[in-house]
Amino acid sequence: MKTIKGPAIFIAQFIGDKAPFDSLHHICQWASQLGYKGIQIPTLDPRFIDLEKAATSQTYADELKGIVQSYGMEISELSTHLQGQLVAVHPAYDLLFDSFAPTALQGHPKERTEWAVQQLRYAAQASKNLGLKAHATFSGSLLWHTFHPWPQRPAGLVDEGFTELARRWTPILHAFDEAGVDLCYEIHPGEDLFDGETYEMFLEKVHNHPRACLLYDPSHFVLQCLDYIQYIDFYHQRIKAFHVKDAEFNATGRQGTFGGYQPWLKRAGRYRSPGDGQVDFKRIFSKLAEYDYDGWAVLEWECCIKNSEDGAREGAPFIRNHIIQTTEKAFDDFAATVRDPSLNKKVLGLQG
C-alpha cells in the first residue's frame, strides 16, 4: 500500500490583493507556516503562474517550481477549472461564464472556446515541465439545463450531447497523454460530468481514454445524496486527485437537493470546512489507502459560515491527522509460519 501525500491546499479561494495572498512568494510562505506541504495552483492569475510561459519555457517552469520548493513545499497540481468550464458552454450560460475569459473574448463564444482549448493544451505541457502527474479541471456542459427531464428530453439528446462533449475533449486528452499527465475531471453539479453515470457515459464516448481521470471531492456527492464511499470502490483506478472538502445535507419540509434558490447559508445542502460537516473522512482516507492512492490530499476551503483563514489553519492538521502511514507488514506476522507444502496438504486433509 502507498501513503497519501499532503497536506496541500488549493489557493484559488484565498488569492486577493493584500498580503499574504497577493503573490506566489507570499502565499507560499503563508501556507508553509500553516504546515502545508503542497499547493494546487489555479492558472488564470499571472501573479502566480504564466501558463503559456510555463508551457513553452522549461527555465521558467523550473524557476516557478524553485519558488515553491524554497518554502519547503511542492506543486501538487495545476488547475484549469475555469478554462475547462469554457470548453463547453450552452448559450443560456454565455453571459454568466463570460467573466471566466479575457475581456477581448467576452461576447464571442466561438473564440472563447478556442482560447479555452488552447489553455488546456498549455496546461498539459506546463504540467509536464513542472514534473506533475495530474491536472485538475471541469468538463463544461451542454446538457446541464436538461438535468431534470421536464419537459421531456427529445430522443437521442443525451447521446448527442455526450458525443459532442467527447469530440471537444478527445484532442485535449491526447495532448495530456503525450505529456504523460492524467487529466482529472472534478465531478460537480453544473458540469455534464456530475456523477458516476455521466462520467461513464463520457468515458464510453472517449473510448475509455487512459487520461480521462477523476478528481474526487466527496462534498458534491453529499449534496446529491450519492454514496461517496462506494464511488471509490467503483472508480478508484481513475481517481488521481483529491479535494478535502466537507458538506452537510439537512432536508427540511421546505427544501431538499434543489435548494429553493436560497443562498448557501440557507440551503439544505451546503459546503463546510473539513470536520464541520457530515463527510466521513476516516473512511475515505482508509478506502483511498486501501486502493493505493498515492496522490495529494488537497484542502479546498468553501464554507458559508467559517472564516477562510481559520479554515486554512485548521485544514493542515485535519488532513495530516487523517493521512494513514500505510503498513509494510501484516499485524499477525509474529505468528507467521514457513511455507511447507506437506503441512498444507495435511491441514486440508489431503495427506495422512
Asked if the structure places residue 63 within a domain, the reply is yes
- Per the structure, the complete domain to which residue 239 belongs is given by 5-347
- What is the mean predicted confidence (pLDDT) over 276-284? 98
- The pLDDT-based confidence of 340 (bands split at 50, 70, 90) is confident
Q: Mapped to the 3 state alphabet, what secondary structure does 278-317 carry? A: CCCHHHHHHHHHHCCCCCEEEECCCCCCCCHHHHHHHHHH
pTM, two decimals, is 0.94
In the chain, the DSSP E strands lie at 5-10, 38-42, 74-80, 134-137, 182-186, 212-216, 239-244, 246-249, 269-272, 296-299
- Supply φ then ψ for residue 243, to 5 degrees: -100, 125
Identify the CA nearest to 130 among candidates 43, 27, 14.
43
> Quick check: 11 pLDDT over 90?
yes
- The pLDDT tens digits for 104-155 are 999 999 999 999 999 999 999 999 999 999 999 999 999 999 999 999 999 9
- Mind listing the pLDDT tens digit for each residue in 221-246? 999 999 999 999 999 999 999 999 99
In a domain, 276, yes or no: yes
Predicted confidence at residue 331, as pLDDT, reads 64
Mention every residue, 6+ apart, whose C-beta is less than 8 A from residue 268. Answer: 249, 250, 251, 252, 255, 256, 257, 259, 260
For residue 101, give the C-alpha cell.
Answer: 475569459
- Asked if pLDDT for residue 160 goes beyond 80, the answer is yes
Is residue 176 a part of any domain in this protein? yes
Q: What is the CATH number for 292?
A: 3.20.20.150
pLDDT in tens, 202-221: 999 999 999 999 999 999 99
Backbone torsions φ then ψ of 5, nearest 5 degrees? -85, 150
Question: Residue 90 domain-assigned?
Answer: yes
pLDDT at 120: 98
For the cut 70, the answer to whether the pLDDT of residue 334 exceeds it is no
* Whole-angstrom distance, CA of residue 294 vs CA of residue 282: 16
Is 352 part of any domain?
no
Q: What are phi and psi of 92, to 5 degrees?
A: -60, -25
* Number of domains comprising the chain: 1
Residue 260 within any structural domain of the chain: yes
Q: What is the pLDDT of residues 281-307, one digit of tens each?
A: 999 999 999 999 999 999 999 999 999
Output the pLDDT for position 333: 65
Statement: residue 26 has pLDDT above 80:
yes
Whole-number pLDDT of residue 145:
96
Residue 233, pLDDT score:
98
Which band of pLDDT confidence, cut at 50, 70 and 90, is reported for residue 343? confident
* Contact by Cβ (8 Å): 190, 219: no
For the segment 60-71, what is each residue's pLDDT rounded down to a tens digit? Answer: 999 999 999 999
Higher pLDDT, 340 or 218: 218
Please indicate, yes or no, if residue 18 is contained in any of the structural domains.
yes
Is pLDDT above 80 for 332?
Answer: no
Is 228 among the domain residues? yes
